[in-house]
Structure 1
Amino acid sequence: MPTPRSRHRRTTLLAALALVPLAAALTACGDDAEPAAAVAGSAPGGIGIGALSNGAAKPATLKVSAVAALRAQLPEEIRDKGELVIGVGVLPAGSPPLNFIGSDQKTVTGSESDLGRLVAATLGLKPVIQKSTWENMFLGVDSGKVDVAFSNVTDTEERKRKYEFASYRQDNLAFETNKSDDWTFTGDYKVLAGRTIAVSSGTNQERILLKWQKQLKEEGKKLTVKHYPDLNSTYLALGAKKIDAYLGPNPAIAYHTRTTEGTPRATRSAGTHSGAGSGLQGLIAATAKKDSGLAKPLAGAINHLIDGGQYAKWLAAWNLSDEAVERSEINPPGLPLSDS
């Protein structure tokens, strides 16, 4: 049994691991890992939130200490490594306010990567941000090069075949249209008949949209689904009226409509929909490889941040308070297989 002195040394060491500045925490990890960089707003004893966001967030510094009991729940390999490799789908152009390249043109910022850093600190680990396309992020988790993805991943029953989850935010989708368009989505997919909608490949929203496309086809109606390589291409198509709307994450669309307000490219939200479809509130979750043993400590860390108030401050900094959850859950009910 450890002595009081040894327990104190262990607690002090764990806290020190969590409280290093992000300049030291963001160590390299492969060709696509974020380079070591000082993050504005960070300070000894705190994690910078919304730093380098170029106005997308209100920067804040949140105090976070390592929790020995949660660190003890980590798989031994990760505990010994002392790092949490966090996958984010940020290439090629990112998706503000979720994950994007900061104003220094190299450091990943965004609500998702910031939460990953807070969770890593709570677990007494150094966060290492691994950049990739959204699709390749899952390959990183599959291969073990990435420990956990914080990248707006929806909890679905299909994904549970390969991954385990710790929820942290409500998942809502939105239709973004030109400001001049006057149609509205109120939950009935039939309003999409005759329209052309863009969506990102491999996403949960694509699955939902393709289901509606199939249903409309069975009713003798047409819904055209378009894919573009990045958001810039999508918005060029929207501005040129080549598409009627873009279906994407509500936070990203809320951000974009704010930034285009009062410009010739102004857009609006034409309505929202749960990421889990009708009848179930979708949830965004930290995503690790199934049976990795990470879901429990991840959920514990998120709940610790909820209890300590850092979670609410994180959401407020990114204007996402309306998507808060009361608790992080391990593998909560997700989008049903029939909708996946």
Structure 2
Amino acid sequence: MSKLRSRLVRSLSAGTAFATLTVGLAACGSSSTSTTAASGDAPGGTVTVGALSNGAATQTGITVSEVASIRAELPASVVKSGQLVIGVGALPAGFAPLAYVGSDQRTLTGSEPDLGRLVAAVLGLKPVVNNATWENLFVGIDSGKTDVGFSNITDTEERKKKYEFASYRQDNLAFEVLKSSPWNFNGDYTALADKTVAVGAGTNQEKILLGWQAELQAAGKQLTIKYFPDTNSTYLALSGGKIDAYFGPNPGIAYQVTQDARTSNPVRNAGTFSGAGATLQGLIAATAKKDSGLAKPVADAINYLIENGQYAKWLAAWNLSNEAVSASQVNPPGLPLSNS
């Protein structure tokens, strides 16, 4: 398994499955690359986010203007093309709420392509969204066929050898509990003493949870970790009181909260933790080929969206406001080489 693919699995796998399988959404077709685009494909104007989301988002029209000064930072070749080719690595099954096939069973939707389309509007470019497998997303960036990836890509020092980044979202894990539970996680692992928590095997969150378990055991306290074979088993264990919480990627839990809101056992987010660990806030970043000259204009476009309120509306539409950043950074400190 490649390091790039491994990082996706480590950061997303359990939460992705937990969210996506619950509602039965899957990509239609098995080709390695497909091109899809949601509404709002003209440069500038109103970009509709949260379309066809199957209840995961609040569909919102966001007005965006082209900013000439930021457009002027673009490489001449991109300006000449008149379009921003946005790469998403969501084939074959997608990862709700970030990128997945919408309720029409055809159109790619999700928070990631939506942000790409907002950035394209600021740059005065037509967004062209290419949905590929995770591996082919990077093949497209490497070959120059894709300008920039918006696909929950974690900023790492290993990836900086080949790519440049413009950060736009915190890379967070979270605890999911029943809405009726009074328990919350405030970043202090000692709050997990005497708790039973489910986690996906082989994931980044499992690694963190096992570390906390060892610390608690050294202090004479107990944390019980449970593994379940599938999504339904995990949810049944939570709703039946056999576990206190599920620990997984924050976006997947945000999605689950929307899907279970009207059930007899609604869930909630009980607190987040950086996917990079206690000493570094992990960041998700737009990803372009190294020395392409795209990271800065993309970061400036994101900062324009932050400063003018469109960024907050985008996050709120997808129930991801708890992953907001105060500013987009070009090549910020990433996950170190020892943990990439």
Structure 1 residue matching 2:255: 3-state secondary structure: helix
1:1-340 pair list within 5 angstroms: 32-35=33-36, 39=39, 45-176=45-176, 187=187, 197-198=199-200, 206-207=203-204, 209-210=206-207, 233=230, 235-239=231-235, 247-261=247-261, 263=263, 267=267, 269=269, 271-340=271-340
Measure, in 2, the Cα distance between the counterparts of 1:84 and 1:143: 15
Question: Per-residue displacement from partner, 1:90-137 (whole Å, max 9, x unpaired)?
Answer: 223322221121222211112111110010111121111111233442
TM-score, length-normalised on structure 2? 0.72
Measure, in 1, the Cα distance between the counterparts of 2:43 and 2:125: 17
Measure, in 2, the Cα distance between the counterparts of 1:320 and 1:50: 12
Structure 2 residue matching 1:129: 3-state secondary structure: strand
Contact 1:34 1:106 in 2 (8 A): no
Measure, in 2, the Cα distance between the counterparts of 1:94 and 1:265: 25
Question: Per-residue displacement from partner, 1:261-292 (whole Å, max 9, x unpaired)?
Answer: 45477555464211221022222211112222
The structure whose RCO (Cα within 8 Å, separation 6+) is larger is 2
Q: Which shifted more, 105-114 or 257-266? A: 257-266
Measure, in 1, the Cα distance between the counterparts of 2:135 and 2:320: 24
Root mean square deviation, CA, Å: 3.7
Which letter does structure 2 place at the counterpart of 1:198? Answer: G
Q: How far did residue 166 of structure 1 move?
A: 0.6
Q: 1:140 to 1:174 in 2, by over 3 A?
A: farther
Which letter does structure 1 place at the counterpart of 2:64? Answer: V
Q: Which shifted more, 290-299 or 181-190? A: 181-190
Question: Per-residue displacement from partner, 1:20-49 (whole Å, max 9, x unpaired)?
Answer: xxxxxxxxxx97333466x38999831112
How many residue pairs match? The answer is 300
Q: Which shifted more, 160-169 or 236-245? A: 236-245
Which letter does structure 1 place at the counterpart of 2:155? Answer: D
Contact 1:41 1:51 in 2 (8 A): no
Measure, in 2, the Cα distance between the counterparts of 1:215 and 1:173: 14
Residue 10 (structure 1) aligns with: none
Structure 1 residue matching 2:34: 3-state secondary structure: coil
Structure 1 gaps of 5+ residues are 1-29
